[in-house]
Amino acid sequence: MTVSSPGRGRAPASLVGLLALVGLLVALALVVVLAPRLLGVHGQPGVAHLVALRGLVAIGLVVVAALVVVAALLVALPWRRRLAIPVVVLVGAALVQGMVLADRGLSGGEAPALTSAERPAGAVVVLVSNTQGGVSAEDLAALLVERGADVVALPETWRGVAEETARLAAVAGRDLAALGREGADATASTSLLVDRRLGDYTWAADLPTQRATFTATSAGDGPPVMAVHTQAPVPGWMGTWRAEGPLVLDACGRTPGMIVAGDLNTTLDHPAFDDLAGTGCRDAALEAGAAGLGTWPARLPSVLGAPIDHVLYDPTAWTVLRAGVLDPPAGTDHRVLEVVLVPVDGQA
């Protein structure tokens, strides 16, 4: 009796089944990473973290594709050409990630500060700098003076540091009010600096977030300003993280003329931004074509980081002149987000 051998070029049936299962799981994983909102999993552990780092995920997909190519070259099997399919899928998925970032905008690299001649009447320069409790008042003062900042949101910053920053900035001719709400440590504390040309600002209300978030209002015609720091998506706090982002967006939408600035620990892919247009607020970086650039961690190139620091605004009161991501001062792993807002009616 003659025993036939497996056909030349064919993989064993068990291996084909295994590859099919792996392929199905990989395809599902790619859908989750590329469009988690479609499956409603963009607020879940793991997925929320991956989707925040689209640039880094794109690099990872290309690396995996390269490893598959190397494996195909090393394993001299007749059916190895079939591995071209997952390679194409992986590279295509990486390109989609890059296209999402490009669509949101990568044009917000560090630009020179506006000169007085370039600055429109009533323009407000907003900075967001999560100092992680490690940036000196000297460096903060130098930054805000150099950039001509009018509103500076300082998550993870003691009020005393903000007050010293204002004092040092006064030497350079700037007159800023320093406000703050303090927690048990710097991580839970948030400070705010506002130029007094916008009015005499005082604390108005706290938002019930785990970390300090508060609104300051002006005795003059200046806009209400909210300094924000919401909970990070870490184990044990995911529910709080999912709840706090919408609180901020809702407060922004309900307050005419509002400017919101701070570390939301949230990107445009997360649940807080599911209905951004419906809230009545706009994201300044998105409107200016800079929302593809990450602010954390600063040790990565900005295109690979997570855009978790934001400036939100009321579009009936403000338009965006420009937005950019600046190199961080020493002592923090957060880049600085800079936004220039111009009042719709030409008056601040």
Residue where the block lists tokens 């600055």: 119
Asked whether 131 and 143 are in contact (CB, 8 A), the reply is: no
Residue where the block lists tokens 């997952």: 86
- The H-assigned helical ranges of 105-224 are 137-147, 159-171
Structure tokens at 162: 């903000």
Structure tokens at 345: 């009616």
Asked whether 213 and 260 are in contact (CB, 8 A), the reply is: no
Nearest to 168 by CA among 139, 148, 195: 139
CA neighbours within 13 Å on the CB side: how many for 89? Answer: 16
What pLDDT was estimated at residue 130? 98
The CB density around residue 126, as the number of other CB atoms within 10 Å, is 23
Please report, in tens digits, the pLDDT of each residue of the chain (348 residues total): 444 444 445 556 665 566 566 666 677 777 777 788 888 889 999 999 999 999 999 999 999 889 888 877 776 566 667 777 788 888 988 999 999 999 999 988 788 999 999 999 999 999 999 999 999 999 999 999 999 999 999 999 999 999 999 999 999 999 999 999 999 999 999 999 999 999 999 999 999 999 999 999 999 889 999 999 999 999 999 999 999 999 999 999 999 999 999 999 999 999 999 999 899 999 999 999 999 999 999 999 999 999 999 999 999 999 999 999 999 999 999 999 999 999 998 655
The dihedrals phi and psi of 331, each to the nearest 5 degrees, come to: 105, 0
Residue where the block lists tokens 């922004």: 252
What pLDDT was estimated at residue 37? 84
Asked whether 140 and 114 are in contact (CB, 8 A), the reply is: no
Asked whether 174 and 196 are in contact (CB, 8 A), the reply is: no
What pLDDT was estimated at residue 190? 98
Structure tokens at 140: 């903060």
Can you give the length of the chain in residues? 348
